[in-house]
Amino acid sequence: MGSTAHGSNPAAGDDIKACAHTLAPEMIEIRRDLHRHPEVAFHEERTAGRVEDFLRRLNLEPRRAAGTGVICDINPAGASGAGRRTVALRADIDALPIQDGKDVPYASTVPGVAHACGHDGHVAMLLGAAAVLAGRRDRLPGRVRLIFQPGEELIPGGAALMIDAGALDGVSSILGMHLWTLQPCGRAWCNAGAMMAAADEVRIAVLGRGGHGAAPHDTVDALLVGAQAVVNMQSIIARRVDPLKPAVLSICTFRAGSSYNIIGDRAEMTGTVRTLDRGLQDQMPRLIEQVLKGTCDAHGATYEFEYRRGYPPVVNDGGVAEAARAACVAALGAGGVVSLPPVMGGEDFSLYQAHVPGAYMFLGAGPAPGADGRLEAVPHHHPRFDFDERALPLGCEVWVRAALRLLEG
């Protein structure tokens, strides 16, 4: 840990932007350390320990929650007066089970695990914000609660566990933020209303009758039926769903057969369904099973079908989103704040929003567009994922400004 967290604290000044940029080297060091030592969902012991050490050096009192989560209040007595608010800031801390494919000094040292979604940056930005806010603790008009959440990448996720552990007790509003490499560094957006999709899981098995590859007429080919079911299910989005209601149905795995000359009796598929409309989310299991049953009936096969509802859609509260957007304008300038369509990815931040008003922001962390206007960024969940670290002080500043706006009302 560098000297910023336990020496003369630059966050004690009034210039939030200057404080954030002074803290930038330490945020980069934290981010790179976490990147070298990633931990998958609910195994983030080292990560949580690093978070706790930093917060204690700010003379704060973090506590563990949900095993590897951390909750910490800044100005814990500040919300005791009438009309005082508690604003929560949440960062996710887990990595992905993916091999790091980057050739950089801070590449993952853990085989098969990498921070391929930017959560290491989320931790670093929120710790930076903690330093800035802790330096102003005597002047805060309320309380700020820091939530470092495990297990966002693994359904059912860690948000529900953190809520059960009291993360939202007394909270007036909550903010989340995600670095986004598909937009250039210095650009942000936070819409009122739908921001991210519901994320559901589909599991299907087609059951046929196996046999010799030379005698297909004596079999019910599960591979063939399954393949046709996959193709037929694509018509659900194209022909059964209102085109003004965004939806995604992707079958992402398909396993069938055991040998070149054996017709298999079972084909297994898994996939994901993404929707923004809760009514459409309710309809999708029925629509999928209709197509699956019809395809199997036509070929004499049967099926097993499981539809697992995941995170609900992330829907931003209008008032909290406006405060977050104003914070982005103050940090990035009016030209750095844009309005973009919702993202069809899922996030268990929506579970917090089911309890208190909340808003989720995206902060660009990709490269600048080239001469042709194209952004050559590596997408999230890719083995070579990385982001522009100049986004870290920007995110820190946005966190602080948004928290202060919500505290001040």
Query: Could you tell me the two tokens for 233?
Result: 């299910």
Question: Using CA atoms, how far apart are residues 79 and 223, in angstroms rounded to an integer?
Answer: 61
Do 325 and 189 lie in a common domain? yes
Do 164 and 35 lie in a common domain? yes
Do 123 and 248 lie in a common domain? no
- pLDDT beyond 80 at 210: yes
Do 325 and 231 lie in a common domain? no
Question: Using CA atoms, how far apart are residues 220 and 224, in angstroms rounded to an integer?
Answer: 9
- E strand spans, 18-162: 63-65, 69-74, 86-92, 143-149
Provide the residue type at 199 as one letter: A
Do 16 and 123 lie in a common domain? yes
- pLDDT beyond 70 at 8: no
- pLDDT beyond 50 at 4: no
Average pLDDT over residues 74-97: 86
Do 73 and 217 lie in a common domain? no
Do 121 and 143 lie in a common domain? yes
- Which pTM was predicted? 0.90
Do 90 and 159 lie in a common domain? yes
Q: Mark which of 253, 278, 311 sits at the end of a domain.
A: 311
* Number of domains, the chain: 2
Range(s) of the domain holding residue 247:
198-311
- pLDDT beyond 90 at 2: no
Residue 14 has what pLDDT? 63
The CATH number assigned to the domain holding 60 equals 3.40.630.10
Do 332 and 232 lie in a common domain? no
Q: Mark which of 261, 279, 311 sits at the end of a domain.
A: 311
CA distances from 136 to 16, 78, 294 (A): 10, 12, 64
Contact between 317 and 359 under an 8 Å Cβ cutoff? The reply is yes
Q: Mark which of 311, 342, 372 sits at the end of a domain.
A: 311
Would you name the residues annotated as active-site residues?
Answer: 94, 152
Question: Using CA atoms, how far apart are residues 385 and 88, in angstroms rounded to an integer?
Answer: 28
The H-or-E segment that residue 170 falls in is none
Average pLDDT over residues 321-342: 96
Residue 83 has what pLDDT? 63
The CATH number assigned to the domain holding 218 equals 3.30.70.360
Average pLDDT of the chain is 94
- pLDDT beyond 70 at 81: no
Do 382 and 326 lie in a common domain? yes
Question: Using CA atoms, how far apart are residues 355 and 121, in angstroms rounded to an integer?
Answer: 26
Do 121 and 226 lie in a common domain? no
Please enumerate in sequence order all residues whose Cβ is within 8 A of that of 113, keeping only pairs 6 or more positions apart, or say none. 38, 39, 40, 95, 96, 97, 98, 100
Question: Using CA atoms, how far apart are residues 95 and 106, in angstroms rounded to an integer?
Answer: 15
Average pLDDT over residues 51-74: 98
Do 190 and 65 lie in a common domain? yes
